[in-house]
Structure 1
């Protein structure tokens, strides 16, 4: 059966617990695969698109100056160009590279060769070419390892790169040195010893290798200002490694220097340029203020003194993962008087002594051919289609109609096989947002539901099941969901969040949930209790409250047993004023728990399936009942095997 914006059919089986359904597999035709031995990365595929324009600016351009001071090489949109050192029209160097990408140019010490990274051989590997772009050749070719950040040794015979394994685990990650004519490479710094070692910079005498490494506590600790990235120097003769920058923020000491990364040693070996953030620094651009702000610093390697020499530079990616560079490459001029760097879409020259920053203008003609995108073409029409994700199934008290949510609206369907119809009139959801969580009133005349609008927030509503204009019940916007009627139909208990959406956070990261009562005639929510403050987490279910025996409000919440027991989920109850919070049952892995109106059964959703168990409400001597699926104190029956809510 099919769904459209006005009609939706639902292959389903309605039970007292939930709604079960199965999906239909979809298959499509696939063309014959190309012979992998003949595959050429540089060739465009499918229906291609040619792009041809001229630009005087670029994003994230890595730059390098030639040793004789005449040229500047830079990458732009996957090609490498060069311009005269005072600017002008850019000459394309990787002109015969097809659709491959080429970046990170680096001049050899004699200026005759440029090392760069290209995927024209199938993976991002190390290549060299003559300084005019002719005679490109591979230094090493590997589908197992990728390379970035080339740096020449002073004798011009070797190139150091950051090498990383494409997938899987194993050795081979770190800084490796390759002879310009090839070979398997020599390990200089292993990432096993210096985590995420990157950005090699070699002193002119060939003695010292500067690099940065990750000093933070795991992936989640990438706090730059706390000192997650630090600069090291390795003596290539003795193997000794010392810290140029060091320190992490600690509980009782301000130990962080704010990190240090992207080191470039000056030609005379006296100075070290590097990047570091400005605490609380922001940038203003076209009336918008954003951050963080990254600056270029200078360390006197003799005295240890530091100062800022350019602020800002390109915003760093120091908290990213799998980035090509932490900031775009920059370089010293051969005489050490200036730094060539890209910033603000332009190529800049920074005079070290005066701090003056001047723009080196360029004009680059960009000619690229884009292959056809690998995708399945389809269009969304008003024709009926099969709904695959149905939520919040709710049966009417007489069992003749089911309400559910799909494609942002609530639908009603007469059982067993009636035609679905929208609960609200066309245009309501466009004005008020997506509709969620239908709940029938005890007499079956009304349906309560919630909405969420991306700019106006959410509200609680009710509407006659027979149709009509919805009535807004709440007065303050919030992240409302899971409404449930009181047995007399006079009140509705509803779950709403802590306002995380107002802070740009998703509902999965809500720190706690609030249960509130709202009059069926409308009004301000009256707080009942708070749920989830101790159990939260990205995979936690939003708590669903219901009315049960003795006019109590029942809901699930985290429970920590005494001793060394692992965290569990408990079924709790409170009175309407939030008093007499009582734990009735504990379950180790439950996502949702509901008690039957008279209190003799418990329904549980665990692992996306539904289970039921008898429950002796009020007969356990005031002690919570531990309920487990296997060999438990009461029998637990599995209701669904292919999913249930």
Structure 2
């Protein structure tokens, strides 16, 4: 489903520095943009909006549509291939596709067996994809951590407990999958950050918090990470809430370096949005008229 902006709402694309500053680089009240990736050359962000893939030039703030064919409307789960020229896409038909970032025909990777596939991670060598699978599109059931070869074929499940999980993403060294999961609690919706070795061992919680924590994203150098923090009691990762984008050192996830409060949620930080040099990352805010949404960093 394509999500529009509400009446009196705008979409803002921000770039934050690891030193705590943030810069508004694009704003619009015409299209709801989501889930920025950063291109390998550091020149542009890749986002989805109105079911299409878009690029946003960081210097000129020029937004352009990537001319894809053979793929249905997109959702906000897309990941750049490690070579920087390809992109892996999740579409609203529940399947994963591969295309070139320059545009052209897209190729479907997943088979048509009824499950929905929500892509989040590609291994550093480009050979494997990590996604959340929901059988037969039954969203009353918890999502499961799954992997598949990047050229398709058989899928494999990775056991992270009975709770819903989301956002599985490979570490830069390819040894771990980072994710959020509800397997550590019996409280509905209480997602917490975790990681598991790609072979299924070493499943561990990264921090214990009262907030609902989603979408851990490691910087390319592996030294820092971002995630989005929802209010306690949130179920899922809904839109239009006061949330925080949080920056932490990966040696200690319990000690935030900086926090950016904003009005957003779904679409703000669904995929890895780090710059190639690990000094900046992008996120999206969706302020409403009458709501003080000027992002400001706080040092926790």
1-side partners of 2:188 and 2:72: how far apart?
41
1:56 to partner: Cα distance: 5.1
Conservation of the 8 A alpha-carbon contact between 1:174 and 1:187:
yes
Aligned mate of 1:274, from 271, 279, 283: 283
Conservation of the 8 A alpha-carbon contact between 1:62 and 1:105:
yes
- Tell me if 1:159 matches 2:159: no
2-side partners of 1:163 and 1:62: how far apart?
17
Instruction: Provide, for residues 453-510 of structure 1, a one-character-per-residue CA deviation record: whole Å limited to 9, x for no partner.
Output: xxxxxxxxxxxxxxxxxxxxxxxxxxxxxxxxxxxxxxxxxxxxxxxxxxxxxxxxxx
1:238 to partner: Cα distance: 3.7
Conservation of the 8 A alpha-carbon contact between 1:162 and 1:175:
yes
Tell me what 1:139 maps to. Answer: 158
Residue 244 of structure 2 aligns to a residue whose secondary structure is strand
1:159 to partner: Cα distance: 0.6
- Map 1:286-301 → 2, pairs under 5 A: none
2-side partners of 1:139 and 1:214: how far apart?
26
Whose Rg is larger?
1
Aligned mate of 1:116, from 122, 128, 131: 131
Q: Summarize the Cα distance change of 1:184–1:161 in structure 2 as closer, same or farther, 3 Å threshold.
A: same
Tell me what 1:450 maps to. Answer: none
1:170 to partner: Cα distance: 8.7
Residue 241 of structure 1 aligns to a residue whose secondary structure is coil
1:74 to partner: Cα distance: 0.8
Q: Summarize the Cα distance change of 1:270–1:135 in structure 2 as closer, same or farther, 3 Å threshold.
A: same
1-side partners of 2:72 and 2:102: how far apart?
15
Residue 134 of structure 1 aligns to a residue whose secondary structure is coil
Instruction: Name stretches of at least 5 consecutive residues in structure 2 with no aligned partner.
Output: 1-68
Aligned mate of 1:199, from 215, 224, 245: 215
2-side partners of 1:80 and 1:212: how far apart?
24
Instruction: Provide, for residues 269-291 of structure 1, a one-character-per-residue CA deviation record: whole Å limited to 9, x for no partner.
Output: 1111011123429xxxxxxxxxx
Aligned mate of 1:245, from 259, 264, 269: 259
Conservation of the 8 A alpha-carbon contact between 2:143 and 2:165:
yes
2-side partners of 1:200 and 1:223: how far apart?
17
Aligned mate of 2:104, from 85, 88, 96: 88
RMSD between aligned alpha carbons? 3.9
2-side partners of 1:114 and 1:100: how far apart?
16
Instruction: Provide, for residues 333-390 of structure 1, a one-character-per-residue CA deviation record: whole Å limited to 9, x for no partner.
Output: xxxxxxxxxxxxxxxxxxxxxxxxxxxxxxxxxxxxxxxxxxxxxxxxxxxxxxxxxx
Conservation of the 8 A alpha-carbon contact between 1:265 and 1:273:
yes
Instruction: Provide, for residues 415-463 of structure 1, a one-character-per-residue CA deviation record: whole Å limited to 9, x for no partner.
Output: xxxxxxxxxxxxxxxxxxxxxxxxxxxxxxxxxxxxxxxxxxxxxxxxx
- Tell me if 1:64 matches 2:73: no
- Tell me if 1:104 matches 2:119: yes
Q: Summarize the Cα distance change of 1:236–1:93 in structure 2 as closer, same or farther, 3 Å threshold.
A: same
1:264 to partner: Cα distance: 2.4
Tell me what 1:175 maps to. Answer: 193
- Map 1:190-269 → 2, pairs under 5 A: 190=208, 193-215=209-231, 228-242=242-256, 244-246=258-260, 258=263, 261-262=268-269, 264-269=273-278
Q: Summarize the Cα distance change of 1:74–1:170 in structure 2 as closer, same or farther, 3 Å threshold.
A: closer
Q: Summarize the Cα distance change of 1:105–1:92 in structure 2 as closer, same or farther, 3 Å threshold.
A: farther
Tell me what 1:471 maps to. Answer: none
Tell me what 1:479 maps to. Answer: none
Q: Normalized against structure 2, the TM-score is what?
A: 0.61
Conservation of the 8 A alpha-carbon contact between 1:178 and 1:185:
yes
Q: Summarize the Cα distance change of 1:223–1:115 in structure 2 as closer, same or farther, 3 Å threshold.
A: closer
Tell me what 2:88 maps to. Answer: 73
- Map 1:374-393 → 2, pairs under 5 A: none
Q: Summarize the Cα distance change of 1:245–1:140 in structure 2 as closer, same or farther, 3 Å threshold.
A: same
Residue 164 of structure 2 aligns to a residue whose secondary structure is strand
Residue 264 of structure 1 aligns to a residue whose secondary structure is coil
2-side partners of 1:132 and 1:148: how far apart?
22
1:89 to partner: Cα distance: 2.1
1-side partners of 2:90 and 2:172: how far apart?
23
Residue 182 of structure 1 aligns to a residue whose secondary structure is coil
Q: Normalized against structure 1, the TM-score is what?
A: 0.30
Q: Bigger relative contact order, structure 1 or 2, given CA contacts below 8 A and separation 6+?
A: 2
Conservation of the 8 A alpha-carbon contact between 2:181 and 2:191:
yes
1-side partners of 2:192 and 2:253: how far apart?
15
- Tell me if 1:189 matches 2:220: no
